[in-house]
Amino acid sequence: MMRIILSVFLLFVAPWAHAQTPPSTADVAGYRGLHLAAHEGDADAIRRLSASGADVDARDRAGRTPAHVAAFASNEAALRALAEAGADVNALENRAYDVLTIAAVADDPDLVSLAMELGNRPDRITSVYDGTALIAAAHLGHHEAVRRLIAGGAPLDHVNNLGWTALMEAVVLGDGGQDHVATVRVLVEAGADTEIPDRDGVTPLQHAEARGYDEIAAIIRAALGR
């Protein structure tokens, strides 16, 4: 019964990390000024425009600032130039994502590190699920991003409004493959609480065992001393 309920639930929930909406072709065609420079990675234009008074936190129709656009395009030099010009790297766009969570979902560890270096807080609550960049990365099995977020001080045991931690998401929304195994290992070795259950009282270990994720279950059992 638990498998059936979980399968139905995941049908609606699993796509959440992909709910981010990068600029469309139409959006880009309409960009001017800092948004266009951010998309194209033109750091010199960003410096010139910001020096002339352009609003570094201007929003497009989806609430994306130039910093969000730079993150979606993985343009590190543009993001750095925007931050140096005073852009708010912690800003949330209309879907409540910040630069750091965009980088985590894109599996761009270098951008993850840069965002934190520029002041994007790893404890920022993002998405309609009140999660964090760490939860988003763990869900997708982006273990190097997870490692860097933890090193940057991301809260290991934040519980989102689904009642799940990063560890729980790595198990429940993961596929049990090597990327999620590595993600669970990073989280557990960093000290993530392996006993925080979901709202039904089911622990990460119980979920792993029920889904036949033997390697993940073994990692959690070892942490529990079993």
Q: Do domains 25-94 and 99-226 have the same CATH topology?
A: yes
Residue 49 CA to residue 55 CA, distance in Å, equals 9
**Residues 6+ away with beta carbon under 8 Å from 132:** 101, 122, 123, 124, 125, 126, 154, 155, 158, 160, 166
**Residues 6+ away with beta carbon under 8 Å from 65:** 56, 57, 58, 59, 87, 88, 91, 93
N-term to C-term CA, the chain:
27
Beta carbons of 178 and 157 less than 8 angstroms apart: no
Three-class SS state of 131: strand
**C-alpha to C-alpha distances, 98 to 93, 135, 152, 180, nearest whole angstrom:** 7, 13, 16, 23
Per-domain residue ranges for the chain? 25-94, 99-226
Residue 1 CA to residue 7 CA, distance in Å, equals 10
Lookup result for tokens 């840069």: 114
- Here the tokens at position 200 are 């039904």
**How confident is the chain (226 residues) per 10-residue block, as mean pLDDT?**
43 53 96 98 98 98 98 98 98 97 98 98 97 98 98 98 98 98 98 98 98 98 94
* pLDDT given for residue 11 in this prediction: 42
* β-bridge mates for residue 126, sequence order: 131
Beta carbons of 122 and 134 less than 8 angstroms apart: yes
Residue 158 CA to residue 134 CA, distance in Å, equals 9
Domain 99-226 sits in CATH at 1.25.40.20
Q: ∠68-57-156 over CA atoms, to 5°?
A: 50
* pLDDT given for residue 1 in this prediction: 44
What is 25-94's CATH topology?
1.25.40
* pLDDT given for residue 226 in this prediction: 84
Three-class SS state of 126: strand
